[in-house]
Amino acid sequence: TEADRVAKATTAAGIKLLVRIDFEPDWARADHAHNGHPDNLQDYSDFVRAVADRYKPGSPYGTVSAIEVWNEPNLQREWGDPISAQSAALYVQMVRGAYQAIKSVSPSTLVVTAGLSPTGWSDDTAQPDDRFLQWMFDAGLSGNYDVLGLHGNSQVSDPTAAPGSVPGLSDGSFYFRRIEQLRQIEVANGDTNKPIWLLEFGWTADAVHPAYAWFAVSEDQKAQNILSAFQYARTNWPWLGTMFVWTLPDPSWNTDREEYWWAIANPDGTARPALTAILSAAATKQLPT
């Protein structure tokens, strides 16, 4: 299968693989108006158990080192239902079932909570990441995950800017350093020993879509920001583990897709300045590890 091919190739190359499992099959959910969780969460647990079992360490099919349970459950377009404390509790139920299922077949496979979207918005369609994270802890998240997953896509160009320090942008959601505020929530709930991974971070160069154009940066500035973010995080956040730059593109993407503008390469595989800068910094050992 394609999954086997990818897992074998990454394992052979010495690359650790994090797999995000979301997007339910048609048979698993009656309402297809949105992507959303399966109607029966046991179906999800059964599937992640099968993935963890097939790709556990030593498997001839390759190794999956970590599994991310869903994506951005604080957005209705990702979770499928209106977002509330009740939906956060249902997500924690999904995480708990996935954690138990994965550990039953591969105890060393890391279970990572879904990256939360930094929305700056509060209604049925979206809730702020800090509020949703506290709802998750209220619902019993502790003890059911190995790594707390967060998203650090920033609307403020300077990755070192303190939340609220830019005039007109008082909401911490707009800042790379929002992660510090979310770490405080994790610590306040007793999980000081659980690392955080940035499952997405980056900047957009999108001057096309009005929803993104107001905070777009140039491709050169994107490159500089990403390297600065790596340096800031490694210097100041000892509790942070892996950082995933958002993103490498799908070959089918074009300029109509907002993801196209976050990418660090072009759909044809050629590098944009950010990818060139990352590879150069890695080659000269200037990139934190």
**What is the residue whose two structure tokens read 């977002």?**
83
49 band by pLDDT with thresholds 50, 70 and 90:
very high
Distance, in Å, from the CA atom of 19 to the CA atom of 52, rounded to the nearest integer, reads 10
Does residue 204 contact residue 156 with C-beta atoms inside 8 Å?
A: no
Give the count of domains, the chain: 1
Look up residue 56 and give its two tokens.
């556990």
Residue 109 structural domain: 2-283
Residue 289 is assigned to a structural domain of this protein: no
Whole-angstrom distance, CA of residue 213 vs CA of residue 246: 17
For residue 115, is pLDDT > 90? yes
**What proportion of the chain, given as a percentage, has pLDDT over 70?**
100
Flag whether 288 is in a domain.
no
- pLDDT (tens digit per residue) in 220-260: 999 999 999 999 999 999 999 999 999 999 999 999 999 99
End-to-end CA distance of the chain: 32
Residue 71 has what pLDDT?
Answer: 98
Q: Categorize the per-residue pLDDT at 32 as very low, low, confident or very high, splitting at 50, 70 and 90.
A: confident
252-289 per-position pLDDT tens digit? 999 999 999 999 999 999 999 999 999 999 999 888 76
User: Looking at residue 34, what is its pLDDT?
Assistant: 76
Q: Is residue 179 within 8 Å of 232, Cβ to Cβ?
A: no
Pairwise CA distance, residues 193 & 18, whole Å = 21
Q: Is the pLDDT of residue 167 over 80?
A: yes
Overall average pLDDT of the 9-17 stretch: 97
| Contact in structure between 34 and 43 (CB atoms under 8 Å) | no
Q: CATH code at 99?
A: 3.20.20.80
Q: What is the pLDDT of residue 273?
A: 98
Looking at the domain assignment, is residue 238 inside a domain? yes
Pairwise CA distance, residues 183 & 172, whole Å: 13
Q: If we measure between CA atoms, which residue out of 39, 38, 40 comes closest to residue 70?
A: 38
